[in-house]
Amino acid sequence: MHPTIECWFEFGSNYSYLSLMRVEALALDAGVALRYQPFLLGPIFRELGWQSSPFAEQKEKGEYVWRDMARRAAKYGVPFRRPSAFPRRALLPMRVALVGADQAWMGEYCRRIMLQNWAHDREIDDAAVVLEALRGLVDDPQAVLAAARMEQAREALRAQTAKARALGIFGAPTFIVDGEMFWGDDRLEDALDYARRA
């Protein structure tokens, strides 16, 4: 059996958007099991000495990234519109993602949330947006939302973020295959190829 590919991501991460729109189909085609690993980038950035995304803190890098995003999105055939807020707060949808990380609806939920942020420029930390993303995927969206609002879910996301840092993760998306780390959307295919060969 091929080893599982772990996809460590954040909804506020622009390159995570490109990967989450593709990873489920690519992993299925490769015959590689996929595990979603949502975590928060903000605490890791602050530990590394940044107050925000390096794309927001460094003007030239930021301007390059938006042009790069437009090119890559066009290459993959996914819609993209530069959001009016970056990085955008995403605590509630991230907690929902952790609650549902092992559920069959996870991939579609992630794609829906990402599209709201990166194609429709909506505030994804809003409960109405999260409920809209869950509609038709789960029997009781309100129950999932309630679970995500519990202190247990808050603590779980903090612990997940600490685990990411302990693994040496410094950005998103990051893919881990059998202990091997691949950072960035442009390394997704490399990570899948490594899993296929392992």
From CA 175, how far away is CA 192, in angstroms rounded?
9
Q: Which two three-digit tokens encode residue 103?
A: 């559920």
The pTM (predicted TM-score) of the whole model is 0.94
Cβ atoms within 10 Å of 46's Cβ, excluding its own: 11
pLDDT tens digits, one per residue of 147-181: 999 999 999 999 999 999 999 999 999 999 999 99
From CA 13, how far away is CA 42, in angstroms rounded?
10
pLDDT tens digits, one per residue of 14-35: 999 999 999 999 999 999 999 9
Cβ atoms within 10 Å of 45's Cβ, excluding its own: 19
**182 SS3 class:** strand
CATH superfamily, domain at 5-197: Glutaredoxin (3.40.30.10)
**86 SS3 class:** coil
Confirm if 80 and 118 have CB atoms less than 8 A apart.
yes
CA angle 168–173–175, rounded 5-degree value: 65
